Structure formats: structure tokens, C-alpha cells
């Protein structure tokens, strides 16, 4: 399974901010310069995280974003929903009518079970676990 770039940017930004001192802000430019991220996409991702209460923002020339929510209490499933909206592994999982063969599909039930298991796994991972485990790489 492949992650969406917006989700990658969210994790990169949260990991970057996680290592800062309390009260220290992070700008979009700082993140995009440090990691080569698109400033526009990064800004949109950080705005979504701010609107959802994960981050807070400070306006002005010295402004930027800070982590507001305890990342131990934010699971990967919720982060994904904040950044990407409700997702499923196939189009038909969350009520989308974009599938032309839905009425004759013979794998809706097994795919729904698989989707539930993946959701359960994503819910079991805190964002802190993900960004800390990534820090242990050499």
C-alpha cells in the first residue's frame, strides 16, 4: 500500500516539530526547505492539522505552527482522516458510488473485512510511535 504525499508531509512536519522546544514555532518554509517538500502542499496539510486541533498557529513575521495535541493520543487512522478525509482500500468501502460493478462484485465482504483490519491496525498506532520508531533508523 502506498501513502499519499500529504500524509507523508504531515508525518514529516510532526516529527520535525516534535523535536523542538515547547513554545518554539515552525514555519512552512522551514519544513519545506529542510525536507524538499512542496511549500503549497505543506501549508495546506498544516492548515488542516491546525483546524482539527492537532496544531496551533501564530500569525505574523515570527509566526508558525506548534504541536497542540498530545501525539500519543493521536492515532495514525485519525491523522489520515484529518489529512485525506475518510478513506478505504477500494472506492466502494465508504459509500462511494464511483464503482460501476458494485452491484455484481463478489469481493465486497472480504474487502470490507480487510479494510476493517487495516483500520484497526492504523488505530493501534499512535503518531508518537511512528515518528519515534523512524528516529531509531541508522
| pLDDT tens profile 67-97 | 999 999 999 999 999 999 887 777 676 665 6
Q: Indicate if the alpha-carbon torsion angle 23, 45, 63, 15 is positive or negative.
A: positive
**String of b and e for 92-124 (b: at least 16 CB within 10 Å)?**
bbeeeeeeeeeeeeeeeeeeeeebeeebeebee
Task: Please give the model's pTM, rounded to 2 decimal places.
Answer: 0.85
Report how far residue 37's alpha carbon sits from residue 28's, in angstroms, rounded to the nearest whole number: 9
Q: At 105, is the pLDDT very low, low, confident or very high (cuts 50, 70, 90)?
A: confident
The pLDDT assigned to 138 comes to 40
Q: For residues 48-57, give the mean pLDDT.
A: 97
Amino acid at each position: 500500500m502506498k501513502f499519499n504525499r500529504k500524509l507523508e508531509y504531515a508525518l514529516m512536519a510532526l516529527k520535525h516539530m516534535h523535536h523542538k522546544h515547547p513554545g518554539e514555532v515552525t514555519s512552512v518554509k522551514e519544513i519545506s526547505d529542510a525536507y524538499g517538500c512542496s511549500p503549497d502542499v505543506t501549508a495546506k496539510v498544516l492548515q488542516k492539522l491546525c483546524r482539527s486541533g492537532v496544531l496551533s498557529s501564530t500569525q505574523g513575521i515570527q509566526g508558525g505552527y506548534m504541536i497542540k495535541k498530545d501525539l500519543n493520543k493521536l492515532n495514525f487512522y485519525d491523522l489520515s482522516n484529518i489529512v485525506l478525509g475518510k478513506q478505504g482500500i477500494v472506492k466502494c468501502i465508504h459509500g462511494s458510488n464511483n464503482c460501476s460493478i458494485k452491484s455484481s462484485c463478489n469481493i465486497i465482504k472480504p474487502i470490507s473485512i480487510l479494510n476493517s483490519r487495516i483500520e484497526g491496525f492504523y488505530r493501534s498506532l499512535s503518531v508518537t510511535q511512528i515518528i519515534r520508531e523512524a528516529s531509531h533508523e541508522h
